[in-house]
Amino acid sequence: VRKKARAWSGKAEPVRRSAVLGAGIMGGGVAFQSASSGVPIVMKDIRGEALELGLKTAGQLLDRQIDKGRLDAAGKQRVLDNIRPALDYAGFGEVDLVVEAVVENPRVKAAVLAEVEDQVAANAVLTSNTSTISIDLLARGLKRPEAFCGMHFFNPVQLMQLVEVIRGSRSSEATIARTVAYASAMGKTPIVVGDCPGFLVNRVLFPYFNGFNRLLRDGVDFERIDRVMEAFGWPMGPAYLADVVGIDTMVHADHVLQEGFPERMGHDGEPIMDALLASGALGQKNGRGFYEYT
Ligand code: NAD
Protein backbone atom coordinates (compact mmCIF):
# COMPACT_ATOMS: atom_id res chain seq x y z
CA VAL A 1 0.00 0.00 0.00
CA ARG A 2 1.39 3.35 -1.00
CA LYS A 3 1.30 5.69 1.97
CA LYS A 4 0.14 9.26 1.59
CA ALA A 5 2.84 11.90 1.95
CA ARG A 6 3.12 13.13 5.53
CA ALA A 7 0.97 16.17 6.13
CA TRP A 8 2.59 19.38 7.35
CA SER A 9 2.59 19.22 11.15
CA GLY A 10 3.35 22.89 11.89
CA LYS A 11 0.61 25.17 13.20
CA ALA A 12 -0.41 27.83 10.74
CA GLU A 13 -2.41 31.01 10.81
CA PRO A 14 -5.10 30.68 8.12
CA VAL A 15 -5.13 32.99 5.12
CA ARG A 16 -8.42 34.88 5.22
CA ARG A 17 -7.73 37.31 2.39
CA SER A 18 -5.02 37.32 -0.23
CA ALA A 19 -3.70 39.29 -3.17
CA VAL A 20 -2.03 38.41 -6.43
CA LEU A 21 0.27 40.69 -8.41
CA GLY A 22 -0.16 40.14 -12.14
CA ALA A 23 -3.40 39.05 -13.82
CA GLY A 24 -1.74 37.02 -16.59
CA ILE A 25 -1.91 33.28 -17.26
CA MET A 26 -0.74 32.41 -13.74
CA GLY A 27 -2.04 35.38 -11.73
CA GLY A 28 -5.51 35.00 -13.27
CA GLY A 29 -5.43 31.28 -12.44
CA VAL A 30 -4.40 31.92 -8.83
CA ALA A 31 -7.20 34.49 -8.44
CA PHE A 32 -9.76 32.05 -9.84
CA GLN A 33 -8.57 29.20 -7.63
CA SER A 34 -8.50 31.30 -4.45
CA ALA A 35 -11.91 32.83 -5.12
CA SER A 36 -13.42 29.42 -5.92
CA SER A 37 -12.05 28.09 -2.63
CA GLY A 38 -13.74 30.90 -0.68
CA VAL A 39 -10.65 33.03 0.01
CA PRO A 40 -11.31 36.57 -1.31
CA ILE A 41 -8.44 37.92 -3.40
CA VAL A 42 -7.33 41.28 -4.79
CA MET A 43 -5.94 40.84 -8.31
CA LYS A 44 -3.59 43.71 -9.21
CA ASP A 45 -2.02 44.45 -12.56
CA ILE A 46 -0.53 47.54 -14.17
CA ARG A 47 -2.71 47.07 -17.28
CA GLY A 48 -6.50 47.34 -17.24
CA GLU A 49 -6.78 44.95 -20.21
CA ALA A 50 -4.94 42.25 -18.25
CA LEU A 51 -7.48 42.60 -15.42
CA GLU A 52 -10.38 42.36 -17.88
CA LEU A 53 -8.90 39.25 -19.48
CA GLY A 54 -8.25 37.65 -16.06
CA LEU A 55 -11.89 38.22 -15.04
CA LYS A 56 -13.21 37.04 -18.40
CA THR A 57 -11.19 33.81 -18.16
CA ALA A 58 -12.51 33.21 -14.63
CA GLY A 59 -16.07 33.74 -15.93
CA GLN A 60 -15.52 31.22 -18.73
CA LEU A 61 -14.14 28.60 -16.34
CA LEU A 62 -17.20 29.09 -14.12
CA ASP A 63 -19.55 28.83 -17.12
CA ARG A 64 -18.00 25.43 -17.89
CA GLN A 65 -18.90 24.32 -14.34
CA ILE A 66 -22.45 25.58 -14.85
CA ASP A 67 -22.65 23.59 -18.12
CA LYS A 68 -21.60 20.47 -16.23
CA GLY A 69 -24.30 21.13 -13.61
CA ARG A 70 -21.78 21.67 -10.80
CA LEU A 71 -22.60 25.34 -10.21
CA ASP A 72 -25.52 27.74 -10.55
CA ALA A 73 -25.58 31.41 -11.55
CA ALA A 74 -25.60 32.56 -7.90
CA GLY A 75 -22.55 30.38 -7.20
CA LYS A 76 -20.75 31.89 -10.17
CA GLN A 77 -21.49 35.39 -8.91
CA ARG A 78 -20.24 34.50 -5.41
CA VAL A 79 -16.90 33.40 -6.86
CA LEU A 80 -16.59 36.48 -9.08
CA ASP A 81 -17.43 38.71 -6.10
CA ASN A 82 -14.41 37.18 -4.34
CA ILE A 83 -12.06 38.63 -6.99
CA ARG A 84 -11.43 42.36 -6.69
CA PRO A 85 -9.53 43.75 -9.69
CA ALA A 86 -7.17 46.61 -8.83
CA LEU A 87 -4.71 48.94 -10.49
CA ASP A 88 -3.42 50.24 -7.15
CA TYR A 89 -2.64 48.92 -3.67
CA ALA A 90 -5.96 49.84 -2.02
CA GLY A 91 -6.96 47.03 0.36
CA PHE A 92 -3.49 45.46 0.55
CA GLY A 93 -3.30 46.44 4.25
CA GLU A 94 -5.91 43.74 5.02
CA VAL A 95 -4.41 40.78 3.16
CA ASP A 96 -2.63 37.89 4.90
CA LEU A 97 -0.64 36.64 1.91
CA VAL A 98 0.47 37.98 -1.48
CA VAL A 99 1.38 35.87 -4.52
CA GLU A 100 3.67 37.75 -6.89
CA ALA A 101 3.05 36.52 -10.48
CA VAL A 102 4.49 39.28 -12.71
CA VAL A 103 6.92 38.69 -15.59
CA GLU A 104 9.88 36.32 -15.05
CA ASN A 105 12.49 39.06 -14.67
CA PRO A 106 14.53 39.31 -11.43
CA ARG A 107 14.77 43.12 -11.49
CA VAL A 108 11.03 43.60 -12.09
CA LYS A 109 10.15 41.03 -9.42
CA ALA A 110 12.54 42.54 -6.84
CA ALA A 111 11.11 46.02 -7.44
CA VAL A 112 7.49 44.81 -7.21
CA LEU A 113 8.17 42.80 -4.03
CA ALA A 114 9.91 45.74 -2.32
CA GLU A 115 6.98 47.98 -3.29
CA VAL A 116 4.28 45.63 -2.00
CA GLU A 117 6.19 45.01 1.24
CA ASP A 118 5.49 48.63 2.19
CA GLN A 119 1.76 48.20 1.50
CA VAL A 120 0.94 45.12 3.57
CA ALA A 121 0.59 44.57 7.33
CA ALA A 122 3.74 43.62 9.26
CA ASN A 123 2.58 40.00 9.69
CA ALA A 124 1.61 39.40 6.05
CA VAL A 125 3.44 36.74 4.04
CA LEU A 126 4.91 37.53 0.60
CA THR A 127 5.44 34.75 -1.94
CA SER A 128 6.70 34.53 -5.50
CA ASN A 129 5.41 32.24 -8.25
CA THR A 130 8.78 32.35 -10.02
CA SER A 131 9.66 29.21 -12.00
CA THR A 132 13.41 29.73 -12.11
CA ILE A 133 14.66 32.65 -10.00
CA SER A 134 16.35 31.99 -6.66
CA ILE A 135 14.17 32.83 -3.66
CA ASP A 136 17.27 33.97 -1.73
CA LEU A 137 18.13 36.37 -4.56
CA LEU A 138 14.62 37.87 -4.49
CA ALA A 139 14.71 38.07 -0.67
CA ARG A 140 17.83 40.28 -0.72
CA GLY A 141 15.97 43.55 -1.23
CA LEU A 142 13.30 42.85 1.40
CA LYS A 143 13.10 44.28 4.92
CA ARG A 144 11.42 41.09 6.21
CA PRO A 145 13.04 38.20 4.28
CA GLU A 146 11.74 35.81 6.96
CA ALA A 147 8.19 36.54 5.74
CA PHE A 148 9.00 35.54 2.14
CA CYS A 149 9.09 32.20 0.29
CA GLY A 150 8.30 30.68 -3.11
CA MET A 151 4.80 29.51 -4.05
CA HIS A 152 5.16 27.82 -7.43
CA PHE A 153 1.88 26.90 -9.13
CA PHE A 154 1.79 25.00 -12.41
CA ASN A 155 -0.14 25.85 -15.55
CA PRO A 156 -3.18 25.63 -15.80
CA VAL A 157 -3.59 26.47 -12.12
CA GLN A 158 -7.15 25.16 -11.85
CA LEU A 159 -6.12 21.69 -13.09
CA MET A 160 -2.60 21.18 -11.77
CA GLN A 161 -2.64 19.73 -8.28
CA LEU A 162 0.91 20.39 -7.16
CA VAL A 163 2.28 23.57 -5.57
CA GLU A 164 5.98 23.81 -4.73
CA VAL A 165 6.49 25.87 -1.56
CA ILE A 166 10.11 27.00 -1.73
CA ARG A 167 11.95 27.57 1.50
CA GLY A 168 14.59 30.31 1.18
CA SER A 169 17.48 30.22 3.65
CA ARG A 170 15.79 33.02 5.63
CA SER A 171 12.11 31.96 5.30
CA SER A 172 10.60 31.38 8.76
CA GLU A 173 8.68 28.24 9.73
CA ALA A 174 5.56 30.36 10.24
CA THR A 175 5.88 31.69 6.68
CA ILE A 176 6.22 28.19 5.23
CA ALA A 177 3.35 26.86 7.35
CA ARG A 178 1.02 29.68 6.32
CA THR A 179 1.83 29.25 2.63
CA VAL A 180 1.28 25.49 2.89
CA ALA A 181 -2.05 26.17 4.64
CA TYR A 182 -3.13 28.54 1.86
CA ALA A 183 -2.24 26.02 -0.86
CA SER A 184 -4.21 23.35 1.01
CA ALA A 185 -7.18 25.69 1.44
CA MET A 186 -7.11 26.14 -2.34
CA GLY A 187 -7.49 22.38 -2.71
CA LYS A 188 -3.90 21.89 -3.86
CA THR A 189 -1.17 19.49 -2.77
CA PRO A 190 1.74 21.54 -1.43
CA ILE A 191 5.27 20.17 -1.11
CA VAL A 192 8.05 22.06 0.67
CA VAL A 193 11.28 22.12 -1.31
CA GLY A 194 14.68 23.81 -1.05
CA ASP A 195 15.81 26.84 -3.02
CA CYS A 196 17.92 25.54 -5.92
CA PRO A 197 17.85 25.83 -9.72
CA GLY A 198 14.71 24.07 -11.00
CA PHE A 199 13.39 23.48 -7.46
CA LEU A 200 12.10 19.88 -7.53
CA VAL A 201 9.76 19.29 -10.46
CA ASN A 202 11.98 20.76 -13.17
CA ARG A 203 14.99 18.84 -11.86
CA VAL A 204 13.03 15.66 -12.51
CA LEU A 205 11.43 16.83 -15.74
CA PHE A 206 14.46 18.19 -17.60
CA PRO A 207 16.57 15.01 -17.62
CA TYR A 208 13.52 13.48 -19.36
CA PHE A 209 13.59 16.29 -21.93
CA ASN A 210 17.34 15.74 -22.36
CA GLY A 211 16.60 12.09 -23.17
CA PHE A 212 13.91 13.25 -25.62
CA ASN A 213 16.47 15.56 -27.26
CA ARG A 214 18.96 12.71 -27.66
CA LEU A 215 16.33 10.57 -29.38
CA LEU A 216 15.49 13.45 -31.75
CA ARG A 217 19.19 13.81 -32.62
CA ASP A 218 19.30 10.06 -33.29
CA GLY A 219 16.61 10.70 -35.89
CA VAL A 220 13.49 9.45 -34.07
CA ASP A 221 10.34 11.33 -35.06
CA PHE A 222 8.87 13.50 -32.26
CA GLU A 223 5.27 12.44 -33.01
CA ARG A 224 6.28 8.84 -32.54
CA ILE A 225 7.86 9.64 -29.16
CA ASP A 226 4.67 11.46 -28.12
CA ARG A 227 2.48 8.53 -29.15
CA VAL A 228 4.72 6.10 -27.27
CA MET A 229 4.68 8.15 -24.05
CA GLU A 230 0.90 8.55 -24.25
CA ALA A 231 0.51 4.80 -24.72
CA PHE A 232 2.84 4.36 -21.75
CA GLY A 233 0.25 6.27 -19.69
CA TRP A 234 1.46 9.85 -19.53
CA PRO A 235 -1.25 12.42 -20.29
CA MET A 236 0.88 13.88 -23.10
CA GLY A 237 4.25 13.30 -24.70
CA PRO A 238 7.29 15.63 -24.44
CA ALA A 239 6.84 17.49 -27.76
CA TYR A 240 3.22 18.41 -27.05
CA LEU A 241 4.06 19.30 -23.43
CA ALA A 242 6.85 21.64 -24.60
CA ASP A 243 4.36 23.34 -26.96
CA VAL A 244 1.85 23.79 -24.11
CA VAL A 245 4.45 25.20 -21.70
CA GLY A 246 5.99 27.43 -24.42
CA ILE A 247 9.29 26.78 -26.25
CA ASP A 248 10.75 30.06 -24.88
CA THR A 249 9.89 29.08 -21.30
CA MET A 250 11.34 25.59 -21.85
CA VAL A 251 14.62 26.94 -23.25
CA HIS A 252 14.91 29.49 -20.45
CA ALA A 253 14.37 26.86 -17.73
CA ASP A 254 16.80 24.51 -19.49
CA HIS A 255 19.51 27.20 -19.45
CA VAL A 256 18.93 27.86 -15.74
CA LEU A 257 19.34 24.14 -15.01
CA GLN A 258 22.44 23.80 -17.21
CA GLU A 259 24.07 26.73 -15.43
CA GLY A 260 23.04 25.42 -12.01
CA PHE A 261 24.07 21.79 -12.58
CA PRO A 262 26.47 21.79 -15.58
CA GLU A 263 27.82 18.30 -14.97
CA ARG A 264 24.36 16.72 -14.52
CA MET A 265 22.13 18.66 -16.90
CA GLY A 266 24.52 19.38 -19.78
CA HIS A 267 23.59 18.46 -23.36
CA ASP A 268 25.65 16.58 -25.91
CA GLY A 269 25.05 18.67 -29.02
CA GLU A 270 22.70 21.59 -29.61
CA PRO A 271 19.26 21.15 -28.06
CA ILE A 272 16.59 20.98 -30.77
CA MET A 273 14.39 23.37 -28.79
CA ASP A 274 17.04 26.13 -28.99
CA ALA A 275 16.95 25.80 -32.78
CA LEU A 276 13.13 25.83 -32.77
CA LEU A 277 13.12 29.00 -30.69
CA ALA A 278 15.70 30.65 -32.98
CA SER A 279 13.31 29.99 -35.88
CA GLY A 280 10.57 31.92 -34.04
CA ALA A 281 8.53 28.95 -32.81
CA LEU A 282 7.08 29.60 -29.34
CA GLY A 283 4.65 26.67 -29.13
CA GLN A 284 0.88 26.97 -28.78
CA LYS A 285 1.05 30.66 -27.88
CA ASN A 286 2.05 31.64 -31.44
CA GLY A 287 0.64 28.60 -33.22
CA ARG A 288 3.99 27.03 -34.08
CA GLY A 289 6.12 24.66 -32.01
CA PHE A 290 6.86 21.00 -32.65
CA TYR A 291 3.29 20.94 -34.01
CA GLU A 292 1.32 23.62 -35.83
CA TYR A 293 -1.89 25.04 -34.34
CA THR A 294 -4.66 26.91 -36.12
P1 NAD B 1 2.02 36.71 -18.12
O2 NAD B 1 2.90 37.48 -19.04
O3 NAD B 1 0.84 35.98 -18.65
O4 NAD B 1 1.48 37.70 -16.98
C5 NAD B 1 2.27 38.62 -16.30
C6 NAD B 1 1.37 39.79 -15.89
O7 NAD B 1 2.09 40.62 -14.99
C8 NAD B 1 0.94 40.68 -17.05
O9 NAD B 1 -0.47 40.79 -17.09
C10 NAD B 1 1.60 42.02 -16.74
O11 NAD B 1 0.81 43.14 -17.15
C12 NAD B 1 1.70 41.96 -15.23
N13 NAD B 1 2.69 42.86 -14.63
C14 NAD B 1 3.90 43.22 -15.08
N15 NAD B 1 4.47 44.08 -14.21
C16 NAD B 1 3.60 44.24 -13.17
C17 NAD B 1 3.61 44.99 -11.97
N18 NAD B 1 4.64 45.80 -11.67
N19 NAD B 1 2.54 44.89 -11.14
C20 NAD B 1 1.47 44.12 -11.45
N21 NAD B 1 1.41 43.40 -12.59
C22 NAD B 1 2.46 43.46 -13.43
O23 NAD B 1 3.01 35.74 -17.32
P24 NAD B 1 2.68 34.31 -16.63
O25 NAD B 1 2.88 33.23 -17.61
O26 NAD B 1 1.40 34.44 -15.87
O27 NAD B 1 3.91 34.21 -15.60
C28 NAD B 1 3.94 34.94 -14.39
C29 NAD B 1 4.95 34.28 -13.46
O30 NAD B 1 4.58 32.93 -13.22
C31 NAD B 1 6.38 34.23 -14.01
O32 NAD B 1 7.27 34.41 -12.95
C33 NAD B 1 6.48 32.82 -14.56
O34 NAD B 1 7.80 32.34 -14.59
C35 NAD B 1 5.67 32.06 -13.54
N36 NAD B 1 5.12 30.78 -14.02
C37 NAD B 1 4.59 30.67 -15.27
C38 NAD B 1 4.08 29.45 -15.68
C39 NAD B 1 3.47 29.30 -17.06
O40 NAD B 1 3.35 28.15 -17.55
N41 NAD B 1 3.06 30.38 -17.70
C42 NAD B 1 4.09 28.34 -14.82
C43 NAD B 1 4.60 28.49 -13.53
C44 NAD B 1 5.11 29.72 -13.14
Architecture, CATH, for domain 18-194: 3-Layer(aba) Sandwich (3.40)
Q: pLDDT-derived band of residue 270, with 50, 70 and 90 as boundaries?
A: confident
**Ligand 1 atom closest to Cα of 50?**
9
- For residue 292, what pLDDT is reported? 98
> Full-prediction pTM beyond 0.90?
yes
Note whether 18-194 and 201-285 share their fold. no
Per-residue CA distances from 245 to 104, 177, 200, 249 (Å): 14, 29, 17, 7
- For residue 3, what pLDDT is reported? 63
Kindly tell me if the per-residue pLDDT of 8 is higher than 60.
no
- For residue 6, what pLDDT is reported? 55
CA of 232 to the centre of ligand 1 (A): 33
Q: Enumerate the domain spans of the chain.
A: 18-194, 201-285
Pairing type for strands 148-153 and 162-167 reads antiparallel
**How far is residue 173's CA from residue 152's CA, in Å, rounded to a whole number?**
18
Architecture, CATH, for domain 201-285: Orthogonal Bundle (1.10)
| Of 99-103, 160-164, 266-270, the least confident | 266-270
- For residue 21, what pLDDT is reported? 98
Greatest CA separation for the chain: 57
* Mutational pocket test of ligand 1: of 20, 52, 103, 128, the residue with most ligand atoms within 8 Å of the beta carbon: 103
Sheet containing 18-21, strands listed edge to edge, beginning at the edge strand earlier in sequence: 83-86, 41-44, 18-21, 97-100, 125-128, 148-153, 162-167, 189-194
Q: pLDDT-derived band of residue 1, with 50, 70 and 90 as boundaries?
A: low
Helix, strand, coil % in the chain, rounded to nearest 5: 50, 15, 40
Q: pLDDT-derived band of residue 266, with 50, 70 and 90 as boundaries?
A: confident
Q: How much is the average pLDDT of 154-179?
A: 96
**Are the C-beta atoms of residues 237 and 227 closer than 8 Å to each other?**
yes
CA of 211 to the centre of ligand 1 (A): 29
Q: How much is the average pLDDT of 227-234?
A: 98
**Ligand 1 atom closest to Cα of 47?**
11
- For residue 9, what pLDDT is reported? 57
152 is catalytic: yes
* Mutational pocket test of ligand 1: of 25, 119, 252, the residue with most ligand atoms within 8 Å of the beta carbon: 25
Which ranges in the chain belong to alpha helices (H)? Answer: 25-36, 48-67, 73-81, 106-117, 135-139, 173-185, 201-217, 222-232, 238-245, 247-260, 262-265, 272-278
Phi, psi values for residue 41, rounded to 5°: -140, 140
CA atoms within 13 Å, Cβ hemisphere of 191 = 12
One-letter identity of residue 147: A
41: which strand partners? 18, 83
Residue minimizing CA distance to atom 18 of ligand 1: 112
Average pLDDT of the chain to the nearest whole number: 95
**Ligand 1 atom closest to Cα of 44?**
20
CA of 290 to the centre of ligand 1 (A): 24
- For residue 111, what pLDDT is reported? 97
Kindly tell me if the per-residue pLDDT of 279 is higher than 70.
yes
**Are the C-beta atoms of residues 252 and 106 closer than 8 Å to each other?**
no
Q: How much is the average pLDDT of 276-290?
A: 97
Per-residue CA distances from 20 to 29, 95, 110 (Å): 10, 10, 15
| Apex 176 CA angle, 174 and 181, nearest 5 | 90
CA of 105 to the centre of ligand 1 (A): 9
Q: pLDDT-derived band of residue 5, with 50, 70 and 90 as boundaries?
A: low
Q: Pocket around ligand 1: residues whose beta carbon is below 6 Å from it?
A: 21-27, 44-47, 50, 101-104, 108, 112, 129-131, 153-155, 245
